[in-house]
Amino acid sequence: MLIADSFTRKEYAIFPDVFSNVTVKDYTFKRTFNMDEVIHIMYNNEKLSKFMNGMFEDYTELFSRMIQTSMYSNQIRALAGMESTQNLSGENLTKLQTFIEKMFNSFKKNAFAIVPKT
């Protein structure tokens, strides 16, 4: 008897359900299993299931934030100097704001970011 770590279940109305992609530890079976070949047990406590799903969502959010914070604290930043003498009004101000947003997104998404220093 083996306990599957993961599987894909295809449910049928008249015929027995079929289980495929059955994985035990690091081995995935290449064959499919019919419902009459397996013992499939489901937990019916919906309150606990909702609670556990909420816990997993919170954990995912927390872990994502930890990765994001780690990227910020260990981020390599560099400036590339360039000279510019532009008037900061109207269209130039809009272009500058777009540039700043792109620069911020570069720092936010990449572990290594280089932006020009004006």
What SS3 state is found at 9? strand
Q: pLDDT tens, position by position, for the chain (118 residues)? A: 888 999 999 999 999 999 999 999 999 999 999 999 998 887 788 888 888 889 989 999 998 888 777 766 766 566 555 566 666 677 777 877 787 788 777 777 776 677 666 6
User: Given this model, what pLDDT does residue 57 score?
Assistant: 92
pTM above threshold 0.95: no
Q: Is 9 exposed, middle or buried (0-12, 13-18, 19+ CB in 10 A)?
A: middle
